[in-house]
């Protein structure tokens, strides 16, 4: 197709509340338009000015260098992200200001000031160095949502070790693959994490992963849940022992602006996870700037982003962006419905949260659980709401605005990706009117375009491929260890332009509407997963010959996974096999990736070249009759023979 059809008819518009706009950092559309024009016309000058708000040991001599597809920012500059998140505030006399407010799922709480957080980061920095971790080493962080996870990230950033945080819901096999790809030598983990009143055995998963990872020479284990664990002599160290005797003072080294900061793995369509690499200076400036303007951030805000540090949202908008802005960050360990479905609203009332940033998946769950869980709590402290992770459907947006925000809070519907490092499109809350379901306008310095298949620009309200045609400071630098894959994945579709993999359109007001992925990456409950990774997991079962995984619309999750499976001749479909396959995915990838339905098929619809026609499977999974061009289908009778033995 030359373009993508759009069926959205949403037309409601909500202007920024006057009271909010009057106090906002950017309080009018005119002010936004002026800054945006400056950022596009002279991006180097714009970003040089933003960089001046942060600390540099050595000032940059060149702001940007663009040799498509490779970018460099703030060349010649040296800085330290942890210093900018902590030391800078303490030295400015704000060490007594609250940095982290932690609430554990069992109800325990902790508060760390900026001075206390700095001391903890310095102790771990010294402990890591004393344990043999060096600048440039890759360090895996596989932990729950506890303050030590943020401390671990900041300590790595401080000493120049490259951290790679792995979501605590991933199973041992997924941990193993990421450890091996990164060439990691160190893993920071904990005995277990609390989730819905049960212990997630993180250390046991690390032990299993390490059986195939001989390069791991040390693990450092935090005691959180006090479940029984095995400590391997010579490799495993107690977190408390590493910190015991370590100095609470550490001089942050000057790191080059392009020094690697972190690798974060995101699913790829080839089955092998992609290690997205971000570097220090550009990411720091962009995270600081987006947090400041998108959330209209103030030091007295109590800011709560419900993401996990295992995802990029947790990197940019729990740890680095908010702390660089000197605000108070709430971290919560557990599930939103434990012990009851009002846990989030109880916490907002308890901690007087002012900014709440969550996923549309969560919002749809809240709607399903019932308004009565919301109305019994005082949410009047809230002044700003945000959404992240996927496009939000308009009715969920309206419920969020009215029920959670009381009709008075602007909503920043943010579009961005792991690869972009920070928010790319969003309404600036005091300046830009919102439309439910639209991420509205680009952030400063971001130049999005919607292209047809042939590379020409799409017309107003004509769906197409979303690309970014100018570099920005936080853009990924490459795929770890694979520059060629980086080029092919992101810059080969439209030469010299970053292809986001999303479909989109823009309306008559220039507002962008993201229409979802155009490749085979699916988004389930906020988790972005490559279908090939899931398919290879299913095919690993001895009974399976082939598998194809697609997504169908789901009212709660946004998308639900449907697996079409063909069996070897020696195997027969059965409820027991269905359950075994489901369990295999949960065990090897994680419970969140368990297919909602597994359908056994005699064969899968393929082209003559052997490519599975997932478009047809998606239509079948959604209960539709396959339509469109099937002339390339090798055997049309396959469609009629597909069975739907749902789990």
* Helix, strand, coil tally for the chain in percent (to 5): 30, 25, 45
Helix, strand, or coil here: 204?
helix
Tell me, what DSSP letter sits at residue 251?
P
Q: What is the pLDDT of residue 156?
A: 98
Residues 28, 21: Cα–Cα separation, whole Å: 7
Helix and strand numbers, DSSP H then E, in the chain: 22, 30
Does the structure show a pLDDT above 80 at 7?
A: no
Q: What is the pLDDT of residue 631?
A: 41
* pLDDT of res. 362: 86
pLDDT tens-digit map of 523-534 = 776 665 656 668
Q: Where are the domains of the chain?
A: 18-80+261-517, 82-87+114-253, 521-641
Contact 144, 224 (CB under 8 A): yes
Q: Which residue has the tokens 């015991």?
A: 244
**pLDDT of res. 535:** 80
pLDDT in tens, 432-467: 999 999 999 999 999 999 999 899 999 999 988 999
Using the predicted structure, report yes or no on whether residue 5 has a pLDDT greater than 70: no
**DSSP assigned state of 596:** S
The whole-number pLDDT of residue 194 equals: 95
Pairing label, strands 260-266, 274-279: antiparallel
Residue 68: Cβ within 10 Å count: 12
Is 312 or 521 the better-scoring residue by pLDDT? 312
Q: What is the pLDDT of residues 29-77, one digit of tens each?
A: 999 999 999 999 999 999 999 999 999 999 999 999 999 999 999 999 9
Tokens standing for 416?
């961005």
Question: Which residue's structure tokens are 């992770």?
Answer: 389
**Chain centroid offset of residue 488 CA:** 22
With a CB cutoff of 8 Å and minimum separation 6, the contacts of 153 are 141, 163, 165, 262, 309, 315, 319, 320
Rounded (10°) CA dihedral 332, 334, 340, 346: 0
Residue 204: its pLDDT value, please? 97
d(CA 203, CA 193): 10
Of 157-161, 544-548, 612-616, which one has max mean pLDDT? 157-161
Using the predicted structure, report yes or no on whether residue 592 has a pLDDT greater than 90. Answer: no
Options 3.20.20.70, 3.40.50.300, 3.40.1350.10, 3.40.50.12780; which CATH number does 18-80+261-517 get? 3.40.50.12780
Residue 475's contacts (CB-CB under 8 Å, 6 or more residues apart) are: 71, 282, 419, 420, 421, 498
Question: How many C-alpha atoms does 55 have within 13 Å on its Cβ side?
Answer: 20
Instruction: Say if CB 425 and CB 292 are below 8 A apart.
Output: no
Chain mean position to CA 597 = 25
Which comes out higher in pLDDT, residue 556 or 223? 223
Question: Taking the model in full, what pTM does it have?
Answer: 0.85
Decide: 18 and 433 in contact? Cβ < 8 Å: no
The predicted structure's pLDDT at residue 463 = 86
**Residue position matching structure tokens 């400036």:** 285
Least confident of 110-124, 207-221, 523-537: 523-537
The answer on pLDDT for 641 being more than 90 is no
Same topology, domains 82-87+114-253 and 521-641? Answer is no
Q: What is the pLDDT of residue 480?
A: 98
Cis peptide before 339 (omega within 30 of 0): yes
Helix (H, G, I), strand (E, B) or coil at 49: helix
**Looking at residues 350-361, what average pLDDT do you find?**
94
For residue 609, pLDDT beyond 50: no
Query: Is 192's pLDDT higher than 90?
Result: yes
- ∠ Cα 305 308 314 (to 5°): 60
Kindly state the average pLDDT of the residues 216-226. 98
Distance of CA 52 to the CA centre of its chain: 27
**pLDDT for position 2:** 55
Please give the structure tokens belonging to residue 377.
């709590």
- What SS3 class is residue 591? helix
Query: In the prediction, which pLDDT does 113 show?
Result: 98
- Mean per-residue pLDDT, 331-357: 96
Categorize the per-residue pLDDT at 516 as very low, low, confident or very high, splitting at 50, 70 and 90: confident
Instruction: Give the Cα-Cα-Cα angle 347, 560, 585 (nearest 5 degrees).
Output: 95
Q: At what angle do helices 575-588 and 531-539 cross, to 10 degrees?
A: 120
Give pLDDT tens digits for 568-588.
777 899 999 999 999 998 888
- pLDDT of 547 reads 84
Q: Is the pLDDT of residue 601 over 80?
A: yes
- H or E segment to which residue 71 belongs: strand 70-75
CATH tag, 521-641: 3.30.300.30
Question: Would you say the C-alpha torsion 336, 337, 342, 347 has a positive or negative sign?
Answer: negative
Domain 82-87+114-253: which topology? Rossmann fold (3.40.50)
Q: Say if residues 505 and 534 touch (Cβ distance below 8 Å).
A: no
pLDDT of residue 643: 42
pLDDT in tens, 373-407: 999 999 999 999 999 987 888 888 999 999 999 99
């Amino acid at each position: 197709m030359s373009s993508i059809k759009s069926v959205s008819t949403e037309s409601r518009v909500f202007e920024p509340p006057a009271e909010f706009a009057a106090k906002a950092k950017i309080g009018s559309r005119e002010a936004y338009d002026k800054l945006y024009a400056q950022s596009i016309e002279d991006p180097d000058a714009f970003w040089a000015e933003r960089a001046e708000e942060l600390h540099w040991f050595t000032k940059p001599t060149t702001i940007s260098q663009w040799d498509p597809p490779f970018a460099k920012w703030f060349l010649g500059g040296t800085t330290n992200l942890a210093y900018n998140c902590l030391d800078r505030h303490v030295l400015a006399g704000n060490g007594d200001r609250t940095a982290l407010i932690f609430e554990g799922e069992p109800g325990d709480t902790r508060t760390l000031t900026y001075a206390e957080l700095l001391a903890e980061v310095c102790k771990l920095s010294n402990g890591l160095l004393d344990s043999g971790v060096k600048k440039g080493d890759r360090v895996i962080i596989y932990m729950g949502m506890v303050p030590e996870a943020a401390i671990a990230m900041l300590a790595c950033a401080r000493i120049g070790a490259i951290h790679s945080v792995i979501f605590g819901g991933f199973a041992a096999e997924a941990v193993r693959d990421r450890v091996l790809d990164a060439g990691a030598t160190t893993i920071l983990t904990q005995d277990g994490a609390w989730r819905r009143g049960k212990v997630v055995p993180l250390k046991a998963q690390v032990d299993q992963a390490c059986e195939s990872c001989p390069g791991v020479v040390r693990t450092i284990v935090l005691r959180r849940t006090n479940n029984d664990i095995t400590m391997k002599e010579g490799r495993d160290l107690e977190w408390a022992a590493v910190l015991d005797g370590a100095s609470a003072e550490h001089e942050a080294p000057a790191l080059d602006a392009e020094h690697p900061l972190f690798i974060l793995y995101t699913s790829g369509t080839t089955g092998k996870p992609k290690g997205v690499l971000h570097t220090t200076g550009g990411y720091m400036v962009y995270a600081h700037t987006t947090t400041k303007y998108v959330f209209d951030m103030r030091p007295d805000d109590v800011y709560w982003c419900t993401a996990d540090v295992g995802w990029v949202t947790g990197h940019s908008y729990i740890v680095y962006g908010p702390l660089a802005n000197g605000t108070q960050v709430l971290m919560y360990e557990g599930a939103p419905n434990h012990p009851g479905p009002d846990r989030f609203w109880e916490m907002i009332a308890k901690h007087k949260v002012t900014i709440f940033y969550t996923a549309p998946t969560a919002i749809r769950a809240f709607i399903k659980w019932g308004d009565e869980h919301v109305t019994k709590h005082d949410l009047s402290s809230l002044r700003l709401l945000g959404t992240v992770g996927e496009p939000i459907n308009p009715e969920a947006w309206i419920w969020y605005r009215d029920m959670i925000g009381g009709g008075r809070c602007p909503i920043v519907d943010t579009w961005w990706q792991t690869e972009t490092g920070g928010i790319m499109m969003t309404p600036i809350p005091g300046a830009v009117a919102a439309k439910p379901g639209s991420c509205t306008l680009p952030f400063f310095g971001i130049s999005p375009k919607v292209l047809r298949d042939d590379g020409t620009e799409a017309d107003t309200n004509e769906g197409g491929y979303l690309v970014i045609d100018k570099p920005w400071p936080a853009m990924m630098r490459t795929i770890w260890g694979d520059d060629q894959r980086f080029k092919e994945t992101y810059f080969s579709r439209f030469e010299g332009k970053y292809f986001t993999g999303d479909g989109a359109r823009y309306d008559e007001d220039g507002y962008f509407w993201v229409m979802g992925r155009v490749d085979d990456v699916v988004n389930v409950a906020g988790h972005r997963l490559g279908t090939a990774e899931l398919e290879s997991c299913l095919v690993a079962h001895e009974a399976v010959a082939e598998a194809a995984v697609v997504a169908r619309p789901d009212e709660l999750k946004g998308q639900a996974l449907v697996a079409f499976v063909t069996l070897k001749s020696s195997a027969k479909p059965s409820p027991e096999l269905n359950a075994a396959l489901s369990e295999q995915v949960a065990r090897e990838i994680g419970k969140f990736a368990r297919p909602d339905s597994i359908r056994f098929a005699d064969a899968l619809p393929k082209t003559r070249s052997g490519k599975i026609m997932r478009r047809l499977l998606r239509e079948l999974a959604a209960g539709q009759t396959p339509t469109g061009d099937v002339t390339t289908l090798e055997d049309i009778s396959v469609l009629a023979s597909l069975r739907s033995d749902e789990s």
